[in-house]
C-alpha cells in the first residue's frame, strides 16, 4: 500500500502529543520520538487501531504506562476518523432500529436531529437491554451516545470534570438493574435450570458487555469535552499519575490492584540483587594459612595469594508495621509487601501494632493466598491495648520486652509507619537500644516529608536512632529504597 | 528493498495461514518492524505465544529461524562468535612439522591464517548477520541474562553488525527480523528498550481465544471451543497465583476432545481443571468460586 508522507499538521499534532506524554511522566527519548515520526508514515491515520499500536510500539516501552498513553491518545486523536465524528442526536446512517423498537419505523430517521429526543427513556432502556443481550457493538455505541446526550447534561464551558458527567449518565442507565434483568432473561431462555457454572459464565459475559458500554460512554463524554474545551486543556485535566507515582495513602481500589502486582517484581529484584552480590562479589579477606601453604611450591615465595571465600550474608529481616486507621491504606499495602518479602528471604519476622503489638510471622508462612493472610492478620492479631489509637511508645515497649533479645547483629529492622503518636510517650530509647544491637534500622514513612514533625508526628525523635528515614509514598520511592538498601 | 508484507492486513493474513492468530496490535508491530527495520521486544505473561510469534513469522515469510536462548551466564563465545582453538592448534602443529619453519615472515603468515574466517565459529547472533538468505532472529527470554551482558546485543540491534577485533566489522548482508522475548522478571535496560519496538502480548480476548482453540485443536466443535474460551475467561478473573495461559487452554481443549466431551458441565470442569491450573490453592479457589455462585444468586433466580 502506498502511504502518503505525513503532512506537517500531523507532525505538529504528534509533537504536541509527545510533549503531553512527557508531561504525564512517560520517558520518551529523542530516538523514540523520531521512530514514531517514521512509523506514522507507514500507517495511515484512518486505520485508528493500527495507528494507535504503531505509536505505542515506538513510544511506550513499559506496559504499566499503557493506560496513561491510551488516555492521551484518545484525547489527541479522538476527533479523527470517520466513525468517531460527533453526531448530535442522530443515529448512524444505515442502522435499522425498527426491529428493536416497535412503532418507531421510519419516524426515527426522518426527524433527523430531533430523533433522540423523540424516544422515551423506557424505549432507550429497552434498546440498551436488547443491545446488551445480543452483544451488538454498533448499537451499543449508538446508545452510549444517546445516553450521554440525554442524561449527562453537558453544558459548554462548564468547569466540571468528566467523572461528574459519567456518574450522571451511568446513574440514569441503572446498569446493575440491567444486569439483573439480563440474567433473568438468560434464565428464562435456557431450556433447563442453569447450573452454577453456566450462571457464572452468563454473568461474566454480560458484565464484559456492560463494561464495554461503560467505556463507550466514557469515550463519548471525553470526545464531547475535547470538542468543547480543546485538546491541551483536556489532556491536562485527565492527567493521572503513573502507577509508580501513585500515592499509597490515596490509591483507589483499582490502583491498589496494580500496585500489588508491581510489588512482586520489586521483591524479586531485591532478592536477585542480593544473590548476585553474593556470587559476583569481591573475594573475602586474605587467607594467610592457605597462601603460605601454596607458597611452598614456589620455594616459599607467596606468589599466589589465596583469599577466603566470602561468607554469604543471610539477612534476617524484622518488619514492624503500623496498621492503625491513619495509615490504613498504607498498612494494607505494607502487609502485601511483607508477604512478598517473606517469600524471597529465608528469615523474615513480621510484627504489626496499633497501641499493642503482635507477631504475625506465622500468618504469612506457607500461605498461598495473600488475601486470606491479610484477613487473618486483621482478625486475629492482638494489636489493640487500650483504645486502638496508635501508640508507638507502648508498641515498642512490648516489642523490646518480648522480642528484644532476638535482635542480633545480622538483623535488619524496618519500621513502617507515620510516627503519629497521639502525644503518648515516645520511648525512643528502645529504638536506640535496637539500633545498637541490629545491623541496620530503617524507618519508612508514608507521609510527605513536609508533614513530618507537624502535629503529633515525632519522626525525627525516632529518626535520630535510625540508619535512615525514608519517605515512601509511591512505588518509585520504594524502588529507590530497595536499590539503596542493597 | 522488498518487503514480505504489503500492509498490516497482509501480515495478519500471512500469520493466520500458519495458524497464528494475530490481533491488531501484533500485526501492526510486525509490519512496522519490517518497515522500520527495528527489532521487536515482545513482553507479556508466560504462555501467550511470544516465542510462537517469532516462529510463525519465520514460517509465514519463509525465512530461516535462528534462535538464541538466553540464560544467566551467557557470554560472547556463546552468543556471538568464538575462535576454534583446537583447529588453530592443529594448524600451528601442521606448520611445525612442515619442512623449514624459518623466518618471521612465515610466522606472520600463520598468524594471519589463524584469525581468518576458517577458524571462526559463528554463534547465533553472528550467524544471523552473515546469512545470505532472509532470517528471523529470535532472542528468547532476554530478561534472563545479566544487565551487563545485555550490552552484547546493543551493536547488533541498532546497527546490524558485529565487530570482531581480529577481523574487523561484519555488517549484515540482509537485515534480519529480530524478536526479543521477555517475561519481565526484571526491568530491561533503557538502552535496549530504546532500540526496540515494544509489543505487549496479553491474554487474548474471548473471540480470539476461541479462534485459537478452533485453529489449533483438531476435532474441536464450535460450541465446545466457545465454552472453553468463556470458562477460561472467567477463571482468569479470579485472583490466582498463576492464571491459565493460552497453551494451557489448548491443553485443556485437547483433553476434552480426547475424553469425548461435547458439553462442559460442572463435574467435567472439576475433574479436568488440574490441566488448566497448576497450583493446589488455585484449583480449590476456582472450584469454590464456581460452586458458590449458586447460593449467591439464588434469590433473584427464584424471583424471576
Which residue's entry shows cell 482468569? B236
Q: What is the pLDDT of residue B98?
A: 62
Q: Which of B156, B183, B200 is where one domain is finished?
A: B200
Domain assignment present for residue B124? The answer is: no
Chain B residues touching A203 at Cβ < 8 A: 293, 297
CA atoms within 13 A on the CB side of B201: 31
Q: Three-class SS of residue A411?
A: strand
Q: What is the pLDDT of residue A271?
A: 64
Of A349-363, B131-145, B195-209, the range with the lowest mean pLDDT is A349-363
pLDDT of residue A115: 43
Q: Nearest by CB to B279, from A39, A184, A368: name it.
A: A368
CB contact at 8 A, A471 and A443: no
Option in B7, B198, B303 nearest A57 (CB): B198
| Same domain (yes/no): B167, B261 | no
Same structural domain for residues B159 and B247?
no
Q: CATH no. for residue B149? A: 3.40.50.300
Closest CA to B27 of B175, B199, B162: B199
Residue that finishes a domain, picked among B175, B200, B225: B200
Q: Is residue B241 part of a domain?
A: yes
Closest by CA to A228, choosing from A307, A302, A156, is A156
Same domain for B165 and B257, yes or no, is no
CB contact under 8 A, B194 and A61: yes
B186: nearest CB among A187, A272, A371: A272
Sequence-distant (6+) residues with CB within 8 A of A405 are none
Quick one: pLDDT at residue B65?
Answer: 93
Whether A479 shows a pLDDT value over 50: the answer reads yes
What pLDDT shows up at residue B301? 35
A320-334, B93-107, B178-192: lowest mean pLDDT where? B93-107
Q: What is the distance between the alpha carbons of residues B80 and B93, in angstroms, rounded to a whole number?
A: 27
Confidence of residue B104 (pLDDT cuts 50, 70, 90): low
Domain that holds residue B28: 8-74+131-200
**Span A155-179, average pLDDT:** 75
A470 pairs with which residues across the strands? A444
A289 touches chain B (CB under 8 A): no
CB atoms within 10 A of CB B161: 12
Percent of chain B, pLDDT > 90?
14
* Interface test with chain A among B28, B181, B202, B270, by most A beta carbons within 10 Å: B28
Overall average pLDDT of the B257-266 stretch: 83
Contacts of A239 (CB under 8 A, 6+ apart): A23, A24
A424-456 confidence digits (pLDDT tens) = 888 888 888 888 888 888 888 888 888 888 888
Output A372 or B207, whichever has higher pLDDT.
B207
Q: Does the pLDDT of residue B297 top 70, yes or no?
A: no
**pLDDT of amino acid B298:** 35
pLDDT (0 to 100) of residue B117: 82
Residue B67's DSSP bridge partners are: B138
More confident residue, A351 or A242: A351
Q: Residue B295, class by beta-carbon neighbours within 10 Å (0-12 exposed, 13-18 middle, 19+ buried)?
A: exposed
**CA angle (A378, A383, A387) in 5-degree steps:** 110
pLDDT tens, position by position, B55-69? 999 999 999 999 999
In chain A, whose CA is at the least distance from the CA of B265? A197
- Structural domain includes residue B304: no
Average pLDDT over residues A317-339: 77
Q: What is the pLDDT of residues A38-83, one digit of tens each?
A: 888 888 877 788 888 888 999 988 888 888 888 888 888 876 544 4
Rg (CA), chain A: 30
Residue B294 and residue A196 in contact, taking contact as beta carbons nearer than 8 Å: yes
Determine whether the interchain pair A35/B241 forms a contact, defined as Cβ–Cβ distance below 8 Å. Answer: no
**What is the pLDDT confidence band of residue B42, given thresholds at 50, 70 and 90?**
very high
- Residue A256: is it exposed, middle or buried by C-beta count within 10 angstroms (0-12/13-18/19+)? middle
Q: Answer yes or no: are the C-beta atoms of A146 and A169 closer than 8 Å.
A: no
The winner for highest mean pLDDT among A105-119, A377-391, B115-129 is: B115-129
Nine-digit cell string for A230:
480543546
- B1 lies in a domain? no
- Three cell numbers written together for A259: 500496585
Chain A residues near residue B279 by CB distance under 8 angstroms = 368
List the end-to-end C-alpha distance of chain B, in Å, as a whole number: 66
Lowest pLDDT segment from A254-258, B159-163, B192-196: A254-258
Are A187 and B38 within 8 A, CB to CB?
no
Q: How far is A181 from chain B (nearest CA, A)?
A: 9
Section A16-24 average pLDDT: 87
B62 and B184: one domain?
Answer: yes
Residues B39, B141 within the same domain = yes
Cβ(B144)–Cβ(B72) below 8 Å = yes
Q: What is the CATH number of domain A253-281+314-485?
A: 3.40.50.410
- pTM for the model stands at 0.74
Q: Model confidence at B181, in pLDDT bands (50, 70, 90)?
A: very high
Lowest model confidence (mean pLDDT) among A29-38, A128-137, B105-114, B252-261: B105-114
With a pLDDT cut of 70, the percent of chain B lying above it is 92
Please tell me whether residues B220 and B288 are part of one structural domain: yes
Does residue B300 fall inside a structural domain?
A: no
pLDDT number for residue B100: 55
C-alpha separations of A480 from A60, A390, A483, B10, B146 in Å: 22, 28, 5, 45, 20
Residues of B in contact with A27 (CB under 8 A): 190
Please give the residue of chain A at the shortest CA–CA distance from B199: A57
Query: Domain for residue B123, yes or no?
Result: no
Q: Which of residues B118, B141, B171 is at a domain's end?
A: B118
Q: What is the pLDDT of residue B130?
A: 87
What's the structural domain count of chain B?
A: 3
> What residue ranges do the domains of chain A occupy?
8-77, 84-240, 253-281+314-485
Q: A276-299, pLDDT tens digit by residue? A: 555 555 567 788 888 888 888 888
What is chain B's mean pLDDT, rounded? Answer: 83
Amino acid at each position: 500500500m502506498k502511504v502518503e508522507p505525513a503532512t506537517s499538521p500531523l507532525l505538529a499534532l504528534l509533537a504536541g502529543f509527545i510533549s503531553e506524554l512527557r508531561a504525564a511522566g512517560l520517558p520518551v527519548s529523542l530516538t523514540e520520538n523520531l521512530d514514531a515520526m517514521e512509523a506514522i508514515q507507514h500507517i495511515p491515520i484512518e486505520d485508528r487501531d493500527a495507528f494507535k499500536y504503531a505509536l505505542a510500539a515506538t513510544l511506550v516501552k513499559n506496559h504499566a504506562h499503557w493506560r496513561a498513553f491510551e488516555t492521551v491518545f484518545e484525547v489527541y486523536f479522538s476527533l479523527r476518523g470517520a466513525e468517531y465524528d460527533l453526531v448530535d442526536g442522530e443515529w448512524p446512517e444505515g442502522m435499522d432500529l425498527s426491529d428493536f423498537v416497535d412503532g418507531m419505523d421510519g419516524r426515527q430517521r426522518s426527524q433527523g436531529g430531533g430523533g433522540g429526543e423523540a424516544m422515551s427513556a423506557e424505549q432507550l432502556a429497552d434498546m440498551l437491554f436488547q443491545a446488551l443481550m445480543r452483544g451488538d457493538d454498533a448499537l451499543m455505541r449508538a446508545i452510549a451516545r444517546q445516553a450521554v446526550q440525554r442524561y449527562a447534561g453537558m453544558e459548554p464551558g462548564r468547569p466540571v470534570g468528566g467523572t461528574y458527567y459519567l456518574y450522571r449518565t451511568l446513574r440514569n442507565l441503572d446498569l446493575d438493574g440491567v444486569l439483573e434483568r439480563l440474567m433473568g432473561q438468560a434464565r428464562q431462555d435456557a431450556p433447563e435450570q442453569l447450573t452454577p457454572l453456566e450462571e457464572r459464565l452468563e454473568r461474566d459475559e454480560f458484565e464484559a458487555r456492560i463494561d464495554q458500554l461503560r467505556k463507550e460512554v466514557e469515550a463519548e463524554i471525553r470526545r464531547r469535552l475535547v470538542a468543547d474545551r480543546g485538546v491541551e486543556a483536556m489532556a491536562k485535566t485527565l492527567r493521572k499519575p503513573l502507577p509508580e507515582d501513585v500515592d499509597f495513602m490515596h490509591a483507589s481500589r483499582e490502583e491498589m490492584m496494580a500496585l500489588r502486582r508491581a510489588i512482586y517484581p520489586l521483591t524479586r529484584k531485591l532478592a536477585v540483587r542480593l544473590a548476585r552480590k553474593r556470587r559476583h562479589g569481591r573475594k573475602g579477606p586474605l587467607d594467610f594459612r592457605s597462601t603460605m601453604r601454596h607458597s611452598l611450591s614456589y620455594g616459599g615465595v607467596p606468589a599466589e595469594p589465596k583469599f577466603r571465600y566470602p561468607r554469604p550474608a543471610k539477612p534476617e529481616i524484622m518488619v514492624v508495621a503500623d496498621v492503625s486507621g491513619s495509615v490504613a491504606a498504607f498498612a494494607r499495602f505494607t502487609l502485601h509487601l511483607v508477604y512478598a518479602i517473606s517469600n524471597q528471604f529465608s528469615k523474615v519476622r513480621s510484627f504489626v501494632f496499633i497501641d499493642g503489638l503482635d507477631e504475625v510471622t506465622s500468618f504469612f508462612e506457607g500461605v498461598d493466598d495473600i488475601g486470606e493472610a491479610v484477613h487473618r492478620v486483621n482478625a486475629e492479631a492482638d494489636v489493640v491495648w487500650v483504645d486502638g489509637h496508635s501508640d508507638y511508645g507502648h508498641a515498642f515497649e512490648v516489642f523490646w520486652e518480648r522480642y528484644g533479645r532476638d535482635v542480633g547483629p545480622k538483623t535488619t529492622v524496618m519500621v513502617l509507619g507515620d510516627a503519629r503518636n497521639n502525644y503518648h510517650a515516645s520511648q525512643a530509647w528502645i529504638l536506640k537500644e535496637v539500633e545498637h544491637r541490629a545491623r541496620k534500622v530503617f524507618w519508612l514513612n508514608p507521609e510527605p516529608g513536609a508533614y513530618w514533625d507537624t502535629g503529633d508526628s515525632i519522626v525525627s525523635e525516632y529518626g535520630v536512632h535510625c540508619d535512615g528515614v525514608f519517605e515512601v509514598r509511591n512505588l518509585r520511592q520504594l524502588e529507590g529504597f530497595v536499590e539503596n538498601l542493597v | 528493498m522488498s518487503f514480505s508484507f504489503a500492509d498490516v492486513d497482509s501480515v495478519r493474513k500471512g500469520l493466520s495461514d500458519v495458524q497464528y492468530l494475530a490481533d491488531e496490535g501484533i500485526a501492526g508491530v510486525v509490519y512496522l518492524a519490517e518497515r522500520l527495520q527495528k527489532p521487536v521486544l515482545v513482553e507479556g505473561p508466560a504462555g501467550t505465544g511470544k516465542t510462537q510469534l517469532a516462529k510463525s513469522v519465520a514460517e509465514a515469510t519463509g525465512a530461516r529461524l535462528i534462535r538464541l536462548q538466553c540464560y544467566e551466564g551467557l557470554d560472547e563465545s556463546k552468543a556471538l562468535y568464538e575462535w576454534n582453538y583446537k583447529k588453530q592448534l592443529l594448524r600451528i602443529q601442521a606448520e611445525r612439522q612442515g619442512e623449514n619453519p624459518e623466518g618471521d615472515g612465515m610466522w606472520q603468515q600463520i598468524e594471519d591464517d589463524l584469525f581468518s574466517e576458517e577458524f571462526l565459529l559463528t554463534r547465533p547472533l553472528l550467524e544471523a548477520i552473515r546469512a545470505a538468505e532472509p532470517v528471523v532472529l529470535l532472542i528468547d527470554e532476554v530478561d534472563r541474562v545479566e544487565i551487563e551482558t545485555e550490552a552484547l546485543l546493543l551493536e547488533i540491534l541498532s546497527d546490524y553488525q558485529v565487530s570482531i577485533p581480529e577481523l574487523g566489522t561484519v555488517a549484515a548482508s540482509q537485515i534480519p527480523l529480530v524478536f526479543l522475548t521477555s517475561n519481565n522478571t526484571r526491568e530491561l535496560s533503557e538502552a535496549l528498550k530504546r532500540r526496540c519496538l515494544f509489543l505487549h502480548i496479553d491474554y487474548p480476548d474471548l473471540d480470539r481465544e476461541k479462534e485459537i482453540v478452533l485453529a489449533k485443536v483438531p476435532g474441536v466443535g464450535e460450541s465446545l471451543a466457545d465454552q472453553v474460551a468463556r470458562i477460561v475467561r472467567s477463571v482468569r478473573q479470579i485472583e490466582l497465583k498463576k492464571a491459565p495461559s493460552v497453551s494451557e487452554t489448548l491443553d485443556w481443549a485437547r483433553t476434552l476432545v480426547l475424553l469425548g466431551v461435547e458439553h462442559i458441565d460442572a463435574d467435567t470442569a472439576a475433574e479436568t481443571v488440574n490441566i488448566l491450573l497448576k497450583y493446589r490453592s488455585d484449583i480449590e479457589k476456582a472450584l469454590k468460586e464456581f460452586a458458590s455462585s449458586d447460593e449467591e444468586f439464588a434469590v433473584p433466580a427464584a424471583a424471576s
